[in-house]
A and B are shown apart, each in its own frame.
Chain A
Amino acid sequence: MKTQYCPLCNRGGLSVRNDTVKFDNLHSCKYLLTPVTAESLTNLQKKCQTMNHPQIFGNLTFNQRLMRNNIFSTPVVMDCEKAQVKKYIEMKKRQSVRKYDELKVLNAKLVRIGTPPLITGRKHEPVQTELFLEELFEKPDESEVALQTDYFLNKPSTPLYCSTKMGQDASTQIESGDLFDYDVEIQPILEVLVNKTIEQALIEVLEEEEIATLREQQRKFLELRAVEKAEQQRLEEQDRRLREEKNRRVKQYEEGIKKQQETKERVAAAVLLTGYIAELLPIVLEGLKISGFLLDEIKTDVQQEFMPWLMKELKKEIGTMIQSRSILEELVKKIIKNRFKIYTQLGDEYDASRKLKVKSLENICKEEEY
């Protein structure tokens, strides 16, 4: 916080607002922007009193803005002091000039060290080191190159219409040579044009050479890459072949081992069978036959002999049954027919006798009535 002094009592204080300052927590007074002079101090003291300033200590010797001497007097420099001052200024000037000269000599030495001495068998030649090349007026080696430019379009037919002009017309007479001499004026422009063209051409040629070198390098690299790629693929193929061969042989070996094991087991089993099971087999077969598990012989016997015989006998029996049945049917029919005849005859005879009986009875009745 900025410390401010009361313009009236010259005591320090802290600014509370923009225009009010508080002094030592005892009193506050209005900050006055107007400059204070010694003449107006008494009036200000009065003002300060009117603004409830409790006590004024008006010791002006402590006010920094006041001059403690007589206001009509000016500071006086003695003659001896003047000479000293002048001497001092001159000395300073001389020193600065000497320093400047020394610096100049040193810079000159630093900038131009000088051409190194000649080596035996060599000689100095002037070389252009400027930014732009300049023509040296010695005819260089020339070579002609022909180029086919792009084709131009046909000039279109000129239209009839012409537009109105813009601006105002003015005229003046220019004699030949008034403006400029073409041959003289064109020389610097032409020089710049030619030099720039040569420079550009040089740059382009260098660029083309660089590109050609790069392409050649790239081609060589690609050739090497192709060879290495082929070698890599050969090794991969070799590795694949060896791996497949190894796998095939391992598999073959494993199969051989497996077959050998199986053969061994078979041989062992065959030996065991011949020695041990050969005696057991007939007994087992016999037992099975007895138990009825081996039905092969009975089955063939039944199929080949019994069944045809059975069929034959069955046919014979059924044939006799059919024949006897038909004979029996014929006999029954005959008997029934005979009986039918007998019974019909007997019925007729019975009916006739009955009718006779009825008639006789009727006759008897009639006779009785009479």
Chain B
Amino acid sequence: MYPHPQLNSYLNGLSLQTSKIIVNRTVYKALQEKYTRGGRNSEFLRVTSIQPQCFAPHVDVTRAKCGFKQFALPKLNMELGSDDPLIVRQALTTLTDLLCYPEKLSEAIQLNIPNSLTDFLVSNDPYLRERVAMAYATIANQVSGKEAILKNLTTVANLSRGLDDSLAAVRLQVARVLEALANNNSAADKLCIYGFVKAISGKLTNERKDILIIYLSILELLFHRNSKAAAIKNGSFDEIVALLSRKDEILLCKSLSCLRVLCEDLSGKQKALELDLLVKLKELLTDKREYVNLEAARVMSFITITSRGKLRLLELRMPSFLLLTLTQKCCPSQELILTNVAEAPEGRRMLLKYESLIENIAVGKNQVLQRHRQTLLDVVRWRP
């Protein structure tokens, strides 16, 4: 990349008596004035004009030239305000590379770079949007970065807009940012306050699979932060239930995980019974994929805690099937479902016939499985 547009060699050529270094430094100062403070002294700003660049064929035009040492970040921060879109792109790409290092990230936060990047999230240039989202994803991996992002409400609002971006790559990067933020408890609390549960739930219907998986991971993390009742009220439950019709295993597992977290709340259990989720779960329980079975059993173990759930399960004639699967491969969630069913008199009566079968469930040396089998037997043998 030669010459650099800010070297201003044509200015150097004007007067032979003036030092070239002084000219370059003056131009640098003027550019700093222009980009960082808005530039009010118009006469001084005349020297900020830049010249075109010539690139050699082997030069990586996506990276900035001087991205190293302690001068790198202030210079790149300054270049972010440049009028030339290519310089901005180069600066942003180099910044994204540098922010991988925690010490650079710390320096960047001190220089207020996360706030400088905010406007690029809603830029017209899709390359800038994607790159800046990547930079935010890197920043959000550090605790101080999370704080810096969530402190700026404009950034949060722009991230929210990024969920509606027309470019899937940008949406993917924004989803990664939110996932990194949601991994931290305090950051997840703030995301719940800012209404990201509702925003993400609204995007579940028409989204690509890879982005959808990240969205579901975010929702699962956010649901853990006391936002279950609000999410159910907002219709998130219905949106996630709609995803159960998909065939992809990871997607199904993630959806079921979200539903399990929602069903931990009483309103979630009621909602599941209203939507007759047990019928769908029965289908998934008979699925050939092991992880789908496990997740479905977990959701079912929460729904059947309620009396209505137990009765509905008995109506669907599930206990015998569950008993059969338990004899083949033991799972604590399925044991728990049977324990729940055994609390109903009819279920207990039915399971009492298979008492010997329950006793012979192979649990190995797993203490958890042993404990749950004993609980099941206690409940089945209980006499009022």
For the complex, what is the distance from the CA of A159 to the CA of B3, rounded to whole Å?
Answer: 11
When the two chains form their complex, are residues B60 and A152 in contact, meaning their CB atoms are under 8 A apart? Answer: yes
In residues 159-189 of chain A, which contact B (Cβ within 8 Å)?
159, 161-166
Residues of B within 8 A of A230 (CB): 298, 301-302, 305, 333, 336
When the two chains form their complex, are residues A158 and B54 in contact, meaning their CB atoms are under 8 A apart? Answer: yes
Q: Which of B8-16, B33-41, B150-158, B243-251 contacts A (4 or more CB under 8 A)?
A: B8-16
When the two chains form their complex, are residues B12 and A155 in contact, meaning their CB atoms are under 8 A apart? Answer: no
Q: Is A224 an interface residue (CB 8 A)?
A: yes
Q: Is A153 an interface residue (CB 8 A)?
A: yes
When the two chains form their complex, are residues B305 and A227 in contact, meaning their CB atoms are under 8 A apart? Answer: no
Name the one of B9, B53, B264, B343 contacting A165, with C-beta atoms under 8 angstroms. B9
Nearest neighbor of B333 in chain A, beta-carbon distance: A227
Q: A163-B10, A166-B12 are in contact. Are A226 and B298 (CB under 8 A)?
A: yes
When the two chains form their complex, are residues B336 and A231 in contact, meaning their CB atoms are under 8 A apart? Answer: yes
In residues 332-384 of chain B, which contact A (Cβ within 8 Å)?
332-333, 336, 339-340, 343, 368, 372, 375
For the complex, what is the distance from the CA of A165 to the CA of B20, rounded to whole Å?
Answer: 11
When the two chains form their complex, are residues A159 and B305 in contact, meaning their CB atoms are under 8 A apart? Answer: no
For the complex, what is the distance from the CA of A127 to the CA of B333, rounded to whole Å?
Answer: 50
Residues of A within 8 A of B55 (CB): 155-156, 158
Name the one of B51, B89, B127, B368 contacting A227, with C-beta atoms under 8 angstroms. B368
When the two chains form their complex, are residues A231 and B375 in contact, meaning their CB atoms are under 8 A apart? Answer: yes
Residues of B within 8 A of A159 (CB): 52-54
Q: A156-B86, A165-B9 are in contact. Are A233 and B62 (CB under 8 A)?
A: no
Q: Is A229 an interface residue (CB 8 A)?
A: yes
Q: Is A234 an interface residue (CB 8 A)?
A: yes
Closest Cβ of chain A to B60, distance in Å, is 7
Name the one of B20, B339, B343 contacting A166, with C-beta atoms under 8 angstroms. B20
Closest Cβ of chain A to B274, distance in Å, is 18
Q: Is B100 an interface residue (CB 8 A)?
A: no
Q: Is B61 an interface residue (CB 8 A)?
A: yes
Residues of A within 8 A of B146 (CB): none
When the two chains form their complex, are residues A237 and B51 in contact, meaning their CB atoms are under 8 A apart? Answer: no
Name the one of B60, B62, B343 contacting A238, with C-beta atoms under 8 angstroms. B343
Residues of B within 8 A of A234 (CB): 305, 336, 339-340, 343
Closest Cβ of chain A to B294, distance in Å, is 8
When the two chains form their complex, are residues A161 and B51 in contact, meaning their CB atoms are under 8 A apart? Answer: yes
In residues 223-248 of chain A, which contact B (Cβ within 8 Å)?
223-224, 226-227, 229-231, 233-234, 237-238, 241
Chain B 233-273 interface mask (CB, 8 Å, partner A; 1/0): 00000000000000000000000000010001000000000
Residues of A within 8 A of B372 (CB): 227, 231
Closest Cβ of chain A to B286, distance in Å, is 21
When the two chains form their complex, are residues B61 and A155 in contact, meaning their CB atoms are under 8 A apart? Answer: yes
For the complex, what is the distance from the CA of A226 to the CA of B302, rounded to whole Å?
Answer: 9
When the two chains form their complex, are residues A237 and B12 in contact, meaning their CB atoms are under 8 A apart? Answer: no
For the complex, what is the distance from the CA of A230 to the CA of B299, rounded to whole Å?
Answer: 9
For the complex, what is the distance from the CA of A223 to the CA of B62, rounded to whole Å?
Answer: 45
When the two chains form their complex, are residues B305 and A166 in contact, meaning their CB atoms are under 8 A apart? Answer: no
Q: Is B115 an interface residue (CB 8 A)?
A: no
Q: A233-B302, A233-B305 are in contact. Are A162 and B62 (CB under 8 A)?
A: no
Residues of B within 8 A of A164 (CB): 9-10, 12-13
In residues 1-44 of chain B, which contact A (Cβ within 8 Å)?
3, 7, 9-10, 12-13, 20
Closest Cβ of chain A to B374, distance in Å, is 12
For the complex, what is the distance from the CA of A163 to the CA of B302, rounded to whole Å?
Answer: 74
Chain B 61-87 interface mask (CB, 8 Å, partner A; 1/0): 110000000000000000000000010
Closest Cβ of chain B to A7, distance in Å, is 63
Residues of A within 8 A of B54 (CB): 158-159, 162
Q: Is B306 an interface residue (CB 8 A)?
A: yes
When the two chains form their complex, are residues B61 and A153 in contact, meaning their CB atoms are under 8 A apart? Answer: yes
Residues of A within 8 A of B294 (CB): 223
When the two chains form their complex, are residues B368 and A237 in contact, meaning their CB atoms are under 8 A apart? Answer: no
Instruction: List residues of B whose CB falls within 8 A of some A CB.
Output: 3, 7, 9-10, 12-13, 20, 51-55, 57, 60-62, 86, 89, 127, 260, 264, 294, 298, 301-302, 305-307, 332-333, 336, 339-340, 343, 368, 372, 375
Query: Can you offer 11 A-B residue contacts whose CB atoms are under 8 A?
Result: A152-B61, A159-B52, A162-B3, A162-B54, A163-B7, A223-B294, A224-B368, A227-B301, A227-B333, A227-B368, A231-B336
Known: A153-B62, A230-B333, A231-B375. 16 other contacts (CB 8 A): A150-B62, A153-B127, A155-B57, A159-B53, A162-B3, A163-B7, A166-B12, A223-B294, A223-B298, A224-B368, A230-B336, A231-B336, A233-B302, A233-B305, A234-B305, A234-B340
The 5 closest A-B pairs by CB, nearest first: A159-B52, A163-B9, A164-B13, A230-B301, A227-B332
